[in-house]
Amino acid sequence: MKLAVGIDIGATITKIGLVSEDGKCIKKTSFRTKEINNFSDYIQELYNSIKSICDDLKSICGIGIGAPNASKNGTIETPANLKWEGKLNLVEELKNKINTEIHLSNDANCAAVGEMMYGNAKDYKDFIVITLGTGLGSGIVSNG
């Protein structure tokens, strides 16, 4: 069975889910983002958490990450609600530990895509998702 990992990086909590091809969450875990001061320690905790829910890392066909201030080049750039500053090479650092396809996008856009594919918006072509946590975000689907 092909498996994917979904990661939601929040300022307070990082949530990780192991997901089947049909979008069902098989296992999940989380850890407190705000308690990790160093970005390399965060990457190690992320890796350890993924290993804790997936016995065979080679069964992972891809990882999707939603994060604040995500850029198209695989970095998070000066996230306002996270402790780490500067350009953080999230995809590259995680790929050094887990050799699989990894995609990074804005967390609110990820929420909108999730609602479009598996959630309450799957019957709609146009909608907006508002995310409210430590920060505020929105994802817009137009003619989806």
Q: Give the pLDDT confidence of 80-112 residue by residue, as tens digits.
A: 788 888 899 999 999 999 999 999 999 999 999
What band does 136 get if pLDDT is binned at 50, 70 and 90? Answer: confident
| Residue 87, in any domain of the structure | yes
| Residue 135, in any domain of the structure | no
Over residues 21-70, the pLDDT tens digits come to 888 999 999 999 999 999 999 999 999 999 999 989 999 999 999 998 89
Question: 21: domain CATH number?
Answer: 3.30.420.40
Model pLDDT, residue 88: 93
Can you give the residue range of the structural domain that contains 43? 3-106
| Residue 18, in any domain of the structure | yes
Count of domains in the chain? 1
| Residue 86, in any domain of the structure | yes
pTM of the model: 0.91
| Residue 95, in any domain of the structure | yes
Residue 3 has pLDDT above 90, yes or no: yes
66-to-20, 56, 70, 130 alpha-carbon distances in Å: 18, 23, 8, 14
Model pLDDT, residue 79: 81
What residues contact residue 117 under an 8 Å CB cut-off, 6+ apart?
23
| Residue 52, in any domain of the structure | yes
Model pLDDT, residue 95: 96
| Residue 129, in any domain of the structure | no
CA dihedral sign, ordered 106, 17, 102, 141: negative
